[in-house]
Structure formats: C-alpha cells, structure tokens
Amino acid sequence: MEFKDYLQQKHVLKTGEKKLKDISVMQYINRMENMREEGIYKEENQIDSILEQKLQKRYKDWTTYRKTIEHYLSSKNY
C-alpha cells in the first residue's frame, strides 16, 4: 500500500489509531522525503540503533521522525 493511502486509512486498518487530518498526512510524507534526501533513511526494514542515532543527531524532535518511519514500515505490510 502506498504510504499516503496507508496514512489516510490507518485508523481503519489498525485498532486504536486515530484518523489523520490531510495536513498531518502531508507532514508525514514531507518528513519521509526529507529523510531520504538527506540520506538519513535508506529504505531500512527496521529501526536500529544506528538509524535512531542519526535521527537524534539531526532532529531536535527526533521521536516524530522515528514515528514517521514506523508508519512507513507498517504501510509496507499492507
């Protein structure tokens, strides 16, 4: 499933997830694109300690970027 489609439907696919507003969906997509462009995320299949260190070093609010990757990885399973 495409990442955007997953974000728009994750509240239906996963119990306990809330529906995202369109602006939030676009923010997730932009974060993912920025991480790819900066070479932080290189299509890893899991978040390991090295990736987490890159996020912590680059972003003040690194947990938001970690969550973005978690959602992206979940989207690949649908």
Picking from 67, 62, 58, the residue whose alpha carbon sits closest to that of residue 40 is: 58
Residue 60 in tokens = 């003040």
Taking the C-alpha atoms of residue 33 and residue 46, their distance in angstroms, rounded to an integer, is 17
**pLDDT at residue 68 in the model:** 98
**pLDDT at residue 73 in the model:** 97
pLDDT one-digit tens code per residue, 8-56 = 999 999 899 999 999 999 999 999 999 999 999 999 999 999 999 999 9
**pLDDT at residue 39 in the model:** 97
- Residue 66 CB neighbours (<10 A): 16
**pLDDT at residue 55 in the model:** 98
Which residue intervals of the chain are DSSP H helices? Answer: 3-13, 22-37, 49-58, 62-75
**pLDDT at residue 6 in the model:** 97
Q: pTM of the full predicted structure?
A: 0.94
